[in-house]
Amino acid sequence: MALVKGLMSRAVAKPGLGGVLSWRLLAVAAVTLLVQGLPSQSRLFVVTGGGTVATGLPFAGAMADPGGTAGVGPVDRLVAEAAELSPAYFSAEEIRELQRRFGVHGAQPRLGQLFTKGLDHLAPLRTHTLARLEEIRPIVIEQSQKQQVNVMLMAAILFDEMQHAKPGEDMRVLAESGLFRDHGLAQLSISELEKQGKLKADASAAEKSAALDQLLNPSENVKVLAGQLARLQKLLGAGKGHPLAVSSNRRDAKIAATIAYLHNGKLDYPARILGYMQDPELHALMYSTRQRSLPPLI
């Protein structure tokens, strides 16, 4: 508001061309303030009449009806009708609410994003990661069925975390040193075991050491990941066993993107996970059946 008042005083004090330019700056500032003051455009959380995010009601109202306009203001309705935003987009209101409820943070630094994209284009690294994912495929499928979570969401998170793993992360001595906060294939912290009720908040040093062993074990790490996805899916209002059809249902895609955001905590992460969930090679790896080929003469 102070910015607008300053521009108005300049526009009045300087007639002619300078005044015209100031009035143009005033118009730009007014439009910027209007856009920043809009209610949530992503419809993940319901916006109340007072302009605040209604807590405890995720995926209700307009989100429950992707084509509806319940719970959104007139301007938000026009935006929603003009174009559908990407499910990986999070409005300022949504980010604040997720920060309040779950403590997630912002985007990965630009340099880190460029480094991540560079790794994604290394064909040998991708082939190696797919081979590692194939080794743990049975446990991924088993746990996805046991916890009733989307197997492709599990596969996408594991693929991304293994693809961008830091050297030495799986070494016990470095894990104990405190150099890394997250451990194992899916990059999970010990606090996740506390949230799942598998570790007491006042656990002893021996119990924390055993928990670290569990996260460093590939099979156990996958089990904890499946438990995390089931826990977050429940917290976000999706029933247990909901299939999350991200390719055909925008609401499901938004849920999957939010789960990915809460897993990793970086704003650029959900878009990568949604992309991996549609990756043909990952689909073939998780859903194909393998048969030993017989010699042509038999």
pLDDT digits (tens, 9 = 90+) for 26-54: 444 443 443 333 333 344 443 333 333 33
- The residue among 235, 270, 266 whose CA lies nearest residue 85 is 270
pTM exceeds 0.75, yes or no: no
pLDDT score of 25 more than 60: no
Contact 190, 215 (CB under 8 A): yes
pLDDT score of 160 more than 90: yes
- The residue among 107, 145, 104 whose CA lies nearest residue 272 is 107
Domain coordinates of the chain in residue numbers? Answer: 1-28, 110-287
Contact 54, 46 (CB under 8 A): yes
The whole-number pLDDT of residue 82 equals 33
List beta partners, residue 45.
Answer: 58
Q: Strand, helix or coil at 189?
A: coil
Residue range 188-202: mean pLDDT, rounded: 94
Residue range 52-78: mean pLDDT, rounded: 34
CATH 2.40.128 fits domain 110-287: no
Residue range 180-196: mean pLDDT, rounded: 93
Contacts 24+ apart (CB under 8 A), 150-154: 150/229, 150/243, 150/244, 150/246, 150/256, 150/277, 151/286, 152/246, 152/277, 152/282, 152/283, 152/286, 153/229, 153/244, 153/256, 153/259, 153/260, 153/273, 153/277, 154/222, 154/225, 154/226, 154/229
Q: Strand, helix or coil at 186?
A: coil
- How does residue 277 score in pLDDT terms, banded at 50, 70 and 90? very high
pLDDT score of 235 more than 70: yes
